[in-house]
Structure 1
Amino acid sequence: MTYAGLGVAAVVGALVVALVATAVRGLGARWWAATALAAAGLVGLTVVFDSLMIAADLFRYGETALLGVRLWLTPVEDLAWPVVAALLLPALWALAGDGESAGEPVEERGER
């Protein structure tokens, strides 16, 4: 399996979990916007720090398993993992919640 195939499978799995969390917990546009913002930040940090680590020759990729598209020095396949983290971790947190609307701030839920 290529890096791209593995990355796509992981992103699709994380997206399914996020969609289930949306349906079960009633997460709205605000939750998805926050998730997208987190994903964008993680992708940006991944491009910078992966590129620095690749430039320092800390690790290498098997070139035959790559698509060849790079952002700076980071293979585009490597950007699947921050997207998976940004989708999967908040979705699992929402699913593991106490049943209240996980997408609303505490003050809007009326907690004491």
Structure 2
Amino acid sequence: MTYLLLSLPFLAVGIVVFLIGAAAAHRTGAVRAYFSSWAAATVVLVVLTAVFDNIMIAAGFFDYREDGISGIRLALMPVEDFLYPIAGSLLLAGVWRLLGGEREPQRRADA
């Protein structure tokens, strides 16, 4: 089994939950904030993945079977490694939204 095939179910679940969260954000008028916060978090995760995966592979902590990857690498890491942080950010954004993560701050009674 390839790493791409292993990642696809996680990516599919992340996309479904993200789209459900997007629908909930649309109902409350928070679509722009929803997508922009997801995009910012995803960029950070992808950059961190690129940096630290390359460091760990260069240090010899782990590597990938050549027959399990597409062969496309960014420095030392296979591009399939980006699917995990992308799936995670999709899933987290959707779950956060569905749990009411963007509530208005409560006003204090003495204010």
Does TM, normalized by the shorter one, top 0.5? yes
Percent of pairs with identical residues: 38
> How far apart are residue 9 of structure 1 and its match?
2.7
Count of aligned residue pairs for this structure pair: 104
State the partner residue of 2:64.
61
Cα RMSD (Å) of the superposition?
Answer: 1.7
State the partner residue of 1:12.
12
Task: Say if 2:30 is the partner of 1:35.
Answer: no
Structure label with greater radius of gyration: 2
Q: What secondary structure is seen at the aligned counterpart in 2 of 1:31?
A: helix
State the partner residue of 1:111.
106
Per-residue CA distance 1:63-100 (angstroms, 9 max, x = gap): 10100011111110111111112111121122122xxx
State the partner residue of 1:71.
74
Gaps of 5+ in 1: none
Name the TM-score, length of structure 1 as normaliser.
0.82
- Give the residue type in structure 2 aligned to 1:78: D
Name the TM-score, length of structure 2 as normaliser.
0.82
